[in-house]
Amino acid sequence: MRRLVIIACVLGLIPCGLAQNWKHVHKADEAKWAKRTGLAAIIIHKLWRQASGVSDERDDDSRIANLDLDGLAGRHDVLLVTYAGEKNCLTITVFHQLSDTNFSKLWSVERPAEGTGFCDTTFGSAQADALNGAITVRVPRSVANGSIDYIAYTYEWNGITYHLAGQKEMQSGR
């Protein structure tokens, strides 16, 4: 009986410990990206929360994979890429920068049209970045001749929103 009480007490503490752990992980992410971008950690926290689909941040396992202030700067847009889940699936979110501290969520995508997510595979990690006003999401699909084959999705501004402008197969190094 005493053993059951101890096990129940320990199991009862695990969720509290994990929630606290996520809080520290998120704070470390925010500090890292604040240092890289020059944005205040509280601004990064707000962007991360707006991008998240989880209502309680203590339950949110998403992490920041990329925060790009330059690639979409021509439109005053900012790219935030987060990842979550067992397969580290990406969520790509674009914010419109209204001022130094004010951002409005403009667009978000979690999967291409065929319905699979932008997730890591056994061949490598999914990645997303922005360059010259376009967003590219690369998902590893296979390995051939020592190179990783990716499918690359390109999203561009169409005057109203970001949309899928194309997709192509590519190899690492190209």
What region, left, alpha or beta, does residue 99 occupy, with left being phi > 0 and alpha being psi -120 to 50 degrees?
A: beta
The Cα 172–Cα 154 span in angstroms is: 16
Considering only CA atoms, give the Rg of the chain.
19
What region, left, alpha or beta, does residue 24 occupy, with left being phi > 0 and alpha being psi -120 to 50 degrees?
A: alpha
The answer, yes or no, to whether residue 14 has pLDDT greater than 80, is: no
Domain ranges of the chain: 2-171
pLDDT band at residue 60 using 50, 70 and 90 as cut-offs: confident
pLDDT digits (tens, 9 = 90+) for 89-143: 999 999 999 999 999 999 999 998 877 899 999 999 999 999 999 999 999 998 8
- Entry pTM: 0.84
- Contact between 135 and 109 (Cβ < 8 Å): no
In the chain, the amino acid numbered 63 is R
